[in-house]
């Protein structure tokens, strides 16, 4: 009988301790968006077609204005955003260059990629970065709050 009480107490303790561990989750929102653009650039070798894939992932805590009311309004806040821009200029399945942008941005801010004569411009978080496709260089303006990392598969 004593062993039965110990087994029952052990099962009850294990059940209630694991249920309590999973009771609360962070009030966090994650949003992911992918866009694929096809551009072309003229060079001495002729016209080169290339593909730009933009993957944006934003994470932030959801905040409400007044938790004591039934009807609540969501407060717009800054998101932690990681945008990965991959550039491919040939037919293999691998992307040739990857640009990773890390920044904080308002919820409704989007990433725009606009073609230019030498590559494309990236408009994000009130900043404009330019990527030269032929030289494979990303130009970042002075004092830009966006952390930019450029990786090349040819290096």
Give the pLDDT score at 19.
Answer: 54
Give the pLDDT score at 22.
Answer: 56
Mean pLDDT score, 134-149: 86
Give the pLDDT score at 14.
Answer: 72
Phi, psi for residue 80 in degrees, rounded to 5: -85, 120
Least confident of 28-32, 39-43, 112-116, 150-154: 150-154
Between these two residues, 94 and 99, which has the higher pLDDT value? 99
pLDDT tens digits, 3-28: 777 766 777 777 666 555 555 666 78
Count of CA atoms in the C-beta half-sphere (13 A) of 28: 8
- Burial category of 48 from C-beta neighbours within 10 Å (exposed 0-12, middle 13-18, buried 19 and up): middle
Give the pLDDT score at 112.
Answer: 92
Average predicted confidence (pLDDT) for the chain: 82
Place of tokens 């002729």: 46
Residue 108, both tokens: 């409704």
Judge whether 1 and 12 are in contact, CB under 8 Å. no
Give the pLDDT score at 36.
Answer: 93
Give pTM, 2 decimals.
0.73
139 - beta bridge partners? 130
Confidence of residue 43 (pLDDT cuts 50, 70, 90): confident
Judge whether 109 and 76 are in contact, CB under 8 Å. no
Contacts of 94 (CB under 8 A, 6+ apart): 88, 153
């Amino acid at each position: 009988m004593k062993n039965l009480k110990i087994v029952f107490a052990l099962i009850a303790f294990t059940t209630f301790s694991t249920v309590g561990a999973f009771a609360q989750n962070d009030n966090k929102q994650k949003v992911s968006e992918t866009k694929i653009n096809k551009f072309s650039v003229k060079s001495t070798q002729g016209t080169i077609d290339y593909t730009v894939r933009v993957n944006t992932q934003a994470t932030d805590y959801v905040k409400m204005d007044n938790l004591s009311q039934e009807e609540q309004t969501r407060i717009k806040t800054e998101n932690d955003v990681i945008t990965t821009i991959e550039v491919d200029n040939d037919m293999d399945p691998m992307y040739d260059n990857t640009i990773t942008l890390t920044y904080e941005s308002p919820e409704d801010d989007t990433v725009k990629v606009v073609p230019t004569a030498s590559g494309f411009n990236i408009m994000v978080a009130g900043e404009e970065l330019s990527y030269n496709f032929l030289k494979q260089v990303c130009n970042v303006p002075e004092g830009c709050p966006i952390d930019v990392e450029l990786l090349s598969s040819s290096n």
